[in-house]
Amino acid sequence: MVVTAKTADGKEIGKEERHYHPQATNCRDKKEKYGAQWKVANIRDTSIQPFQAKKETIEFHLPEGVRSAEITVDLFYEDVNPDNKYPIHTIKKTVSLDM
Amino acid sequence: MKFFKVVLVVLFLAVPLLASAEKAKTIDELAKMYDSSSCKACHAEIYAQWEQSHHARPLMGVKGGLMLTPLALKKGEPGSTAFSEDSPEKMKISNFPCFKCHLPQAIISAEDSVAVELAKALQAKDSAKVAKLQITCIVCHNTKAIIHKRELGEPEKGVLYSTKEVKEHGDSTFKTVKKSAIMNNSVYCGQCHGLGPNLEFDQAFQCANLYGSYLHNYVSGGGTQSCQDCHMKKGDHLIPPNFNDDKQTSELLASALSLDVETLGYDWLRKAATYTPKIVVMTKITSKAGHRIPDG
């Protein structure tokens, strides 16, 4: 999931990522392995599990003089490598600090 | 007595030959042994679904990859594995532990020469040859159909197993269909879409954890749907997702995962008269799937 904040003219002012997936090593060193032939067991699992909502709170401090931002939240699935993406949801919101 | 001895000698020599003759020596022989193309005539729609499925290309990976290539690389070569050998000639069926699920028929029906041929094909990036090895109708509806073998015995030759019994099945080889005890149960899929580390091998490795997640996070949370309920609706043998179909995969994921976003903008006051303009983004992802995402 990638959350970006941009000014009205498109300048990026903040970006945060969250990665949800099981992470395994070969249990002989501390390097995460990709590929069944190298992995032996998970050492961490941030994947999205049934009945367990993933909640995040992400904060962006706006630069001086900026009073609003366009927030985009992209949820996508990566398979094999980060270039192979399957979009899932994209939600955009404009947030203003002025009434 | 002499005749009896001759018979014994002939039997002694012939039995291993017969046993050996039942195993495939080449990729083509193995493919032919489990060829299910005759199913197409009567089950055209199901066959067409299967042809698009990952079961029809279990050694190909996603989008034209050849996922077993690292095993076929020369030992010590960058990217090679603990299962690799100095030469493809040394490769055996046991050098491809992935066959446990990606080509289960090889374990019971293939000579080591098939592993040698596959290693050479992988090194040569011969996709057409590798693609001949598939998880066909026979693999699921016979080879993997029984897990209570002490009670029910091995899958019978000439018999298919399915969710319904068909006493007279119009096929010249598989003349009957018996009702499988497990084919509509998640444990059937769990045979391959696994529990975690495969510790039964001399070199442990881990592929899918999916069934483990299903048991320990979905069933334990009160979930009652089976794998088949969600992934084989109306008997769909595509068994989605099909990761070669971007649109369909995105739609399936979107139906399983929901995303809610709330935002808040305000001037944050950390110390007197010093405001920091701040935006807070709160995200919530919930899943309707019966297993972790991602997994396989």
Q: What is the DSSP string of A64-75?
A: TT--EEEEEEEE
> Is pLDDT above 70 for B15?
no
Whether residues A55 and B246 touch (CB distance < 8 A) is answered with no
pLDDT at B6: 47
pLDDT value of residue B17: 39
Instruction: Say yes or no: ipTM exceeds 0.90.
Output: yes
Candidate from B82, B283, B292 with C-beta closest to A3: B283
Kindly state the tokens that stand for A5.
């904040």
Residues of chain A with pLDDT under 70: none
- Residue from A32, A52, A75, A86 whose CB has the most chain B CBs within 10 Å, to mutate: A86
Q: Which are the contacts of B19, defined by CB distance < 8 A and separation ≥ 6?
A: none
| A60–B279 C-beta distance less than 8 A | yes
Per-residue CA distances from A90 to B7, B96, B241 (Å): 76, 41, 20
CB A53 within 8 A of CB A83: no
Q: Which two tokens stand for residue B12?
A: 């002694």
* Secondary structure class of B41 (helix, strand, coil): helix
Computed over every residue of chain B, the mean pLDDT equals 93
Residue A79 near residue A86, CB atoms below 8 Å = yes
Span B86-107, mean pLDDT? 98
- Degrees, nearest 5: CA angle A39-B89-B208: 20
Residue numbers in B near A66 (CB within 8 A) = 277
Provide the residue type at B57 as one letter: R
Q: What is the pLDDT of residue A99?
A: 86
pTM reported for the whole predicted model: 0.91
Strand B205-206 vs strand B274-287: parallel, antiparallel, or unpaired? unpaired
Q: For A52-61, B20-29, B205-214, which range has the lowest pLDDT when averaged over its residues?
A: B20-29
Residues A31, B202 contacting (CB under 8 angstroms): no
Decide if pLDDT at B5 tops 70.
no
Answer whether A88's CB lies under 8 Å from B259's CB. Answer: yes
Residue B210 and residue B196 in contact, taking contact as beta carbons nearer than 8 Å: no
Question: A68: which chain B residues are within 8 Å (Cβ-Cβ)?
Answer: 265
The three-point CA angle B106-B37-B116 to 5° equals 25
The alpha-carbon gap from A63 to the nearest alpha carbon of chain B, in Å, equals: 8
Decide if A47 and B207 are in contact by the 8 Å CB cutoff: no
Q: What pLDDT band is residue B13 in, cutting at 50, 70 and 90? A: very low
Bridge partners for B205 per DSSP: B198
Candidates A47, A56, A71; nearest CB to B293: A47
Task: Supply the pLDDT for residue B8.
Answer: 45
Rounded mean pLDDT, B58-66: 91
Backbone angles phi, psi at B284, to 5 degrees: -140, 120
Cβ contacts of A70 on chain B, cutoff 8 Å: none
Comparing A3-17, B6-20, B73-87, B246-260, the range with the smallest average pLDDT is B6-20
Report d(CA A57, CA B262) in Å as an integer: 10
Reported as a pLDDT band with limits 50, 70 and 90, residue B19 is: very low
CB contact under 8 A, A22 and B295: yes
Whether A80 sits inside 8 A of B65 (CB atoms) is: yes
Question: What separation, in Å, do the N-terminal and C-terminal C-alpha atoms of chain B show?
Answer: 61
Average pLDDT over residues B262-289: 96
The answer to whether B228 and B189 are in contact (CB under 8 A) is yes
Nearest chain A residue to B243 by CA distance is: A79
What radius of gyration do chain A's Cα atoms show?
Answer: 18
Q: What percent of chain B has a predicted confidence (pLDDT) above 70?
A: 93
Task: Name the nearest CA neighbour of B225 among B260, B256, B181.
Answer: B256
Strands A22-25 and A68-79: unpaired
Give the residue, A98 or B21, on which the prediction is more confident: A98
**Cβ of B257 under 8 Å from any chain A Cβ?**
yes
Tens-digit pLDDT profile for residues B170-182: 999 999 999 999 9
- The widest CA-to-CA distance across chain B, in whole angstroms, is 113
pLDDT at position B99 over 50 = yes
pLDDT of residue A81: 86
Q: Sort B140 into a burial class: Cβ within 10 Å, 0-12 / 13-18 / 19+.
A: buried
Q: Specify the residue for token string 């769990």.
A: B190
Residue B16 has pLDDT above 50, yes or no: no
Per-residue pLDDT for B3 more than 90? no
**pLDDT band with cut points at 50, 70 and 90 for residue B185:** very high
pLDDT at B61: 85
Cβ of B281 within 8 Å of Cβ of A96? The answer is no
* Averaged pLDDT, B276-289: 98
* Out of B246, B277, B284, closest to residue A67 by CB: B277
The stretch B34-49 carries a mean pLDDT of: 97
Listed by number, the residues of chain B in 196-225 with a beta carbon closer than 8 Å to a beta carbon of chain A are: 196-197, 204-207, 209, 213, 217-218, 221-223
Q: Where are the beta strands (DSSP E) in B132-175?
A: 159-162
Cβ–Cβ under 8 Å, residues A3 and B283: yes
Cα–Cα distance for residue pair B99/B97, rounded to 1 Å: 5
Task: Name chain A contacts of B222, Cβ cutoff 8 Å.
Answer: 51
- Phi, psi at B251, each rounded to 5°: -65, -40
**Which residue type occupies B123?**
Q
pLDDT of residue B191: 97
Q: Report which of A42, A81, A1, A47 is spatially closest to residue B291, judged by C-alpha positions.
A: A47
B169 vs B2 pLDDT, higher one: B169
CB contact under 8 A, A36 and B206: yes
